[in-house]
Chains A and B, each alone.
Chain A
């Protein structure tokens, strides 16, 4: 330190190389310089990254935020619950339940695969671990088929159902590249919970690779199975009023029937939630989530009554079966004053729970498709959808056509509004109404029927080529005399006839609140209505109409002349049952005068008679009620003839009651019946109407004829050997009630094997005859103890027990004694006389 180096010594620097000293530090100069440099680097690097952050977070922050939001926001729909459909008494006809779709993410289900790396490419290859896959598939399938997610042991693993479901699950899970594979749809909540529990336990058990005490090696891995919510429409009664209710398609939108026409009302408005989601697409907790609540759909309360519909469908089915009806049957029960439809059926129909299944109806569907080749033939098409044609330019029919779509269309159709037919003699009611209202005819107007009547080059006959002679309007209607109505038509003239035809609503839709009502009509306009056309039209063989048009027109003819709009929906209610909208009677116009209507009621009642007459509509008579009606057997001139060479027929019958002031109309039509004995509607359709009335008139509380028959006695006819529906008709007309004892076997068109009370017994009018179709000895019931009860109450108790009740003595008093001892076992239908005082 004392020998400081001089300046010129600095200029000549000398070095020597020496080993490093482990105790030596870096030179002070180097230390200071390097430390400074290091700090500079650190600060510079901090500056660089801070600058980058500034660019991204502050300068371009908004852009990135926006991009991020685009992928992070989940806009999900909150499904509105579809409204329900109730009948007039509040019974549910269609409801919505929550079901689950179970799906898997195989790409994330590591437990099902073993991963191996291919040496050359370095890529991981997944191979299915068959043992695990089989076990997991089995467990899932058992749960899916268990119904409640618990009774796994009760699942039959050898059934075809199990095999199919197992294969579906197995195949879905083995697709390792896929991230969405549906395992099952429409799974109920219990099964869904059970599957979730199984999966979560499995994943818990396999969270770590381990070896159990018994030496089982547990592989690490997981299975990804999730569920998503969907809705299922349930129709608890199955194939019941199906064409009216319709059904929903796979997306839950109304596709047919009320479901379609009231889709907007039923569907409600879906809500939305906008929330954040993770990369799996699942919503995550988000304080700023926006939710627009769903507005649930409104409910429909129908004027349709399940009890009436049930009666109608039962008898219609029976008639279709008994008469081999090829092209379905239809029936309507309607309030003639309001247009409210109490029952509407097209049979056979389909189960709206499985609308695509037509296997039950194959026979008639085939018949239908073959009967009208011009409508249903499927022709060959080229790739562009153009028809291929042969040398003559004709379309070439497909050799092996797939009618699946056609079949479904046909079975879904509501026959009462979609198909046109010739109304035949039922239309004579309308022709009569036209004549009476126009003043061209009265009840007493007569025409002569000589058995043949020539118009231009055509010669018309009555059915069976009968000559009816001179008849008034009522007689002509009962005789269903074509020649009388041709002359009445001629007296009206084409112009007036067409005007009335139009006024009765035959040239337009009825406006019923159901979809797919045909807009295509087949009628002659005023100018087209020549002599022959007018003649044919006047007895219903020239202008094609729908059954519902017939019903509204007949209603107008008898209800004082008012044409009303028919409707199925009575009111619309919200989720709390408050009435949102009420659909009342909608009178479109007055077609005929009240007095003309009065005349029509008289002639229609004359047709049905009072039980003492035969022929005409007498089979529709039910003692105790004033019933008007008209049968119609029309020939389907436009269709292929049936096997016996005759035209295909439509047997229809329209009845109104009470005839003096009609409330309801009961209409039945059988399209193409093939009864070996007869084509006449009065034998085919009238009994169906009569049977329907015998059950629904008391139920609906229709006014009776006011005649006191309580003192009358009736001799019970022999019914054994008769077909039960016909047996009932003879009871209807005699003033006896009927009760078909339910049997295990199919009662359709069955023959009565036993009756009680027996034939020949003299019983009071109104006594119920018990009919059996599968036993030759009837069944017994225990007589209840009615002593001390009031006469009315005793009657109810006895009726409920399946017994008839005869009151003796003062009916205002209480029961003093009963003819059958309490507790004794007697035949059902036994008349128990109670003595009151």
Chain B
């Protein structure tokens, strides 16, 4: 099996303007802006009573959210100008740092029985950083995996089935997923089930949509969905999850209070809602109304109409984002883009599914809506990467077009040469 020799790595500037702005990127950013503003308004609405009654300050949550948003914008700007090749080079060291942090967090003081937050002056939720790192790392490994390429049929060499399987399963799936295993184990120790589920789902989505494993990945994904019920029932043996799964029922009397209050809130909203700021459930009835269950408050205040608008905004945002990803300049960028969009998609889907009792209760926040500094800053960092990918893709497209135009012109010139001689050439 022959492989093409690796090229010597090219040199580049770490910070640079990635390229021109494509129209889709601008539209996508507009959608993002609408979502962020919407999210801030809803967070303020959902949090001022809780802030007042629990913290003695109506602005307690919104203040820190706005601060983190400002910080996040700076981070977004920074990441949008970091060359993706630099990020790609950093995934290795980044992974080591992540693992160290995930180990360190196990020695922190627990909150509600979980050790998820690292305090270094401020608190960070390490799993959020790990998520970002795993997107980059998985995309890197999947993009780096050697792949089978059509050869000149004249050579007469076929790929044996065993080799094909080895390529598809080991090189394309297992190798990119190997670094995930320590992360999952460390997250289990926190424990942080939603973190595991999300990280795994994101990595899986990268591989699935990136074409790694091909048909095998699709088949695996399909069977995972079909077996979801059985898997959940087996997970029942883990005590930490047991209580949460026990509450996942349609029997209102056995439901956990959180889910029940969420359903009360959503149901109270009706078609048009109680009006912005008028939620009653947020008056401490609904636990985590500023965080994981903020969407219930959206439903209660803005009704079915408002909730669907939020969902449509996210759909628009995701489709535009995915378009950007698939129009990236190279494989790696596409996979990173897919990963970032997958993270948003999974979080939005799982969050709404949890608050509507479609999925069992896990602590997954709603991107750009839920309060939480680490999450918001990292999301905005990822959005910075998306901008970089979008602009890079546009630059690459323009380069390709220029190249093609040049080629066409050359060919045209070539054919011109053969057909018609320029009388001025002086032959």
Question: Contacts A57-B304, A68-B265 hold; do A49 and B358 have CB atoms under 8 A apart?
Answer: yes
Question: Contacts A25-B329, A284-B280 hold; do A19 and B267 have CB atoms under 8 A apart?
Answer: no
Tell whether, in the assembled complex, residue B319 and residue A57 are in contact, meaning their CB atoms are under 8 Å apart: no
Tell whether, in the assembled complex, residue A117 and residue B110 are in contact, meaning their CB atoms are under 8 Å apart: yes
Q: In the complex, which residues of chain B have a beta carbon less than 8 angstroms from the beta carbon of A42?
A: 315, 318-319, 322, 345
> What are the interface flags for B193-219 relative to A under an 8 Å C-beta threshold, 1 for contact and 0 otherwise?
000000000000000111100000000
Tell whether, in the assembled complex, residue A222 and residue B56 are in contact, meaning their CB atoms are under 8 Å apart: yes
Q: In the complex, which residues of chain B have a beta carbon less than 8 angstroms from the beta carbon of A43?
A: 315
Q: In the complex, which residues of chain A have a beta carbon less than 8 angstroms from the beta carbon of B4?
A: 18-19, 21
Q: In the complex, which residues of chain B have a beta carbon less than 8 angstroms from the beta carbon of A58?
A: 270-271, 304
Tell whether, in the assembled complex, residue B209 and residue A34 are in contact, meaning their CB atoms are under 8 Å apart: yes
B156 at the interface (CB under 8 A from A): yes
CA–CA, A71 and B151, complex, Å? 71
Output the least CB separation between A125 and chain B (Å). Answer: 12
A35 at the interface (CB under 8 A from B): yes
CA–CA, A640 and B323, complex, Å? 109
CA–CA, A332 and B51, complex, Å? 65
Output the least CB separation between B196 and chain A (Å). Answer: 18
CA–CA, A215 and B332, complex, Å? 55
Q: In the complex, which residues of chain A have a beta carbon less than 8 angstroms from the beta carbon of B330?
A: 22-25
> What are the interface flags for A1-30 relative to B under an 8 Å C-beta threshold, 1 for contact and 0 otherwise?
000010001001111111111111111001
Tell whether, in the assembled complex, residue B264 and residue A64 are in contact, meaning their CB atoms are under 8 Å apart: yes
Closest to B142 in A: A20
Tell whether, in the assembled complex, residue B304 and residue A72 are in contact, meaning their CB atoms are under 8 Å apart: no
Q: In the complex, which residues of chain B have a beta carbon less than 8 angstroms from the beta carbon of A289?
A: none
B152 at the interface (CB under 8 A from A): yes
Name B3's contact: one of A14, A18, A62, A279 (CB within 8 Å): A18
Closest to B6 in A: A19
A38 at the interface (CB under 8 A from B): yes
CA–CA, A49 and B345, complex, Å? 12
B281 at the interface (CB under 8 A from A): yes
Tell whether, in the assembled complex, residue A17 and residue B267 are in contact, meaning their CB atoms are under 8 Å apart: no
Residues of A in contact, count (CB < 8 Å): 63
Q: In the complex, which residues of chain A have a beta carbon less than 8 angstroms from the beta carbon of B1?
A: 16-17
B388 at the interface (CB under 8 A from A): no
Q: In the complex, which residues of chain B have a beta carbon less than 8 angstroms from the beta carbon of A54?
A: 304
Tell whether, in the assembled complex, residue B148 and residue A57 are in contact, meaning their CB atoms are under 8 Å apart: no
Residues of B in contact, count (CB < 8 Å): 81
Q: In the complex, which residues of chain A have a beta carbon less than 8 angstroms from the beta carbon of B55?
A: 207
Name A12's contact: one of B57, B153, B284, B315 (CB within 8 Å): B153
Output the least CB separation between B63 and chain A (Å). Answer: 13
In B324-352, the 8 Å CB interface with A consists of 326, 328-332, 334, 338, 341, 345, 349, 352
> What are the interface flags for B1-42 relative to A under an 8 Å C-beta threshold, 1 for contact and 0 otherwise?
111111000000000000000000000000000000000000
Tell whether, in the assembled complex, residue B358 and residue A68 are in contact, meaning their CB atoms are under 8 Å apart: no
CA–CA, A26 and B150, complex, Å? 14
A707 at the interface (CB under 8 A from B): no
Tell whether, in the assembled complex, residue A57 and residue B323 are in contact, meaning their CB atoms are under 8 Å apart: no
B283 at the interface (CB under 8 A from A): yes
Q: In the complex, which residues of chain A have a beta carbon less than 8 angstroms from the beta carbon of B85?
A: 22
> What are the interface flags for A691-721 relative to B under an 8 Å C-beta threshold, 1 for contact and 0 otherwise?
0000000000000000000000000000000
Output the least CB separation between A459 and chain B (Å). Answer: 86
Q: In the complex, which residues of chain B have a beta carbon less than 8 angstroms from the beta carbon of A52?
A: 352-353, 356-358
Q: In the complex, which residues of chain A have a beta carbon less than 8 angstroms from the beta carbon of B113?
A: 117, 122-123
CA–CA, A276 and B300, complex, Å? 15
Q: In the complex, which residues of chain B have a beta carbon less than 8 angstroms from the beta carbon of A17?
A: 1-3, 146-149, 167
A65 at the interface (CB under 8 A from B): yes
Q: In the complex, which residues of chain B have a beta carbon less than 8 angstroms from the beta carbon of A278?
A: 49, 53, 283-285
Output the least CB separation between B188 and chain A (Å). Answer: 15
Tell whether, in the assembled complex, residue B149 and residue A68 are in contact, meaning their CB atoms are under 8 Å apart: no
Output the least CB separation between A557 and chain B (Å). Answer: 72
Closest to B345 in A: A42
Tell whether, in the assembled complex, residue A65 and residue B358 are in contact, meaning their CB atoms are under 8 Å apart: no
In B131-178, the 8 Å CB interface with A consists of 143-153, 155-159, 164, 167
A50 at the interface (CB under 8 A from B): yes
Output the least CB separation between A693 and chain B (Å). Answer: 68
In A42-69, the 8 Å CB interface with B consists of 42-43, 45-46, 48-50, 52-58, 60-65, 67-68
Output the least CB separation between A273 and chain B (Å). Answer: 16
Tell whether, in the assembled complex, residue A49 and residue B3 are in contact, meaning their CB atoms are under 8 Å apart: no
Tell whether, in the assembled complex, residue B149 and residue A18 are in contact, meaning their CB atoms are under 8 Å apart: yes
Question: Contacts A12-B153, A68-B280 hold; do A57 and B269 have CB atoms under 8 A apart?
Answer: yes
Among B99-107, B306-314, B371-379, the one that faces the other chain is B306-314
Tell whether, in the assembled complex, residue A20 and residue B266 are in contact, meaning their CB atoms are under 8 Å apart: no
> What are the interface flags for B258-273 relative to A under an 8 Å C-beta threshold, 1 for contact and 0 otherwise?
0000011111111100
A204 at the interface (CB under 8 A from B): yes
Tell whether, in the assembled complex, residue A68 and residue B281 are in contact, meaning their CB atoms are under 8 Å apart: yes
A37 at the interface (CB under 8 A from B): yes
Output the least CB separation between B178 and chain A (Å). Answer: 17
Output the least CB separation between A224 and chain B (Å). Answer: 10
B252 at the interface (CB under 8 A from A): yes
Output the least CB separation between B67 and chain A (Å). Answer: 15
Closest to B400 in A: A25
Tell whether, in the assembled complex, residue B352 and residue A71 are in contact, meaning their CB atoms are under 8 Å apart: no
Question: Contacts A14-B155, A16-B151, A50-B311 hold; do A60 and B267 have CB atoms under 8 A apart?
Answer: yes
B109 at the interface (CB under 8 A from A): yes
CA–CA, A26 and B159, complex, Å? 21
Name B266's contact: one of A15, A53, A207, A279 (CB within 8 Å): A53
CA–CA, A326 and B57, complex, Å? 67
Q: In the complex, which residues of chain A have a beta carbon less than 8 angstroms from the beta carbon of B252?
A: 67
B364 at the interface (CB under 8 A from A): no
In B253-302, the 8 Å CB interface with A consists of 263-271, 280-281, 283-285, 299
B247 at the interface (CB under 8 A from A): no
Tell whether, in the assembled complex, residue A65 and residue B345 are in contact, meaning their CB atoms are under 8 Å apart: no
A280 at the interface (CB under 8 A from B): yes
A522 at the interface (CB under 8 A from B): no
Tell whether, in the assembled complex, residue B157 and residue A14 are in contact, meaning their CB atoms are under 8 Å apart: yes
A383 at the interface (CB under 8 A from B): no
Closest to A56 in B: B266
Tell whether, in the assembled complex, residue A65 and residue B319 are in contact, meaning their CB atoms are under 8 Å apart: no
Question: Contacts A35-B322, A52-B353, A57-B269 hold; do A19 and B311 have CB atoms under 8 A apart?
Answer: no
Q: In the complex, which residues of chain B have a beta carbon less than 8 angstroms from the beta carbon of A46?
A: 311-312, 314-315
Output the least CB separation between A263 and chain B (Å). Answer: 38
Q: In the complex, which residues of chain A have a beta carbon less than 8 angstroms from the beta carbon of B304?
A: 53-54, 57-58
Offer 7 A-B interface pairs, CB within 8 angstroms, sorted by A: A14-B151, A16-B1, A17-B1, A18-B2, A72-B280, A204-B56, A277-B283
Chain A to chain B: the 8 pairs with minimum beta-carbon distance, closest first: A64-B267, A278-B283, A279-B284, A52-B356, A68-B264, A15-B148, A122-B113, A49-B352
Q: Taking beta carbons and an 8 Å cutoff, which residues of A are in contact with B?
A: 5, 9, 12-27, 30-31, 34-35, 37-39, 41-43, 45-46, 48-50, 52-58, 60-65, 67-68, 71-72, 117, 122-123, 203-204, 207, 222, 276-280, 284
Extra 4 A-B pairs, beta carbons < 8 Å, given A41-B345, A63-B267, A72-B285: A31-B334, A58-B304, A61-B270, A68-B265
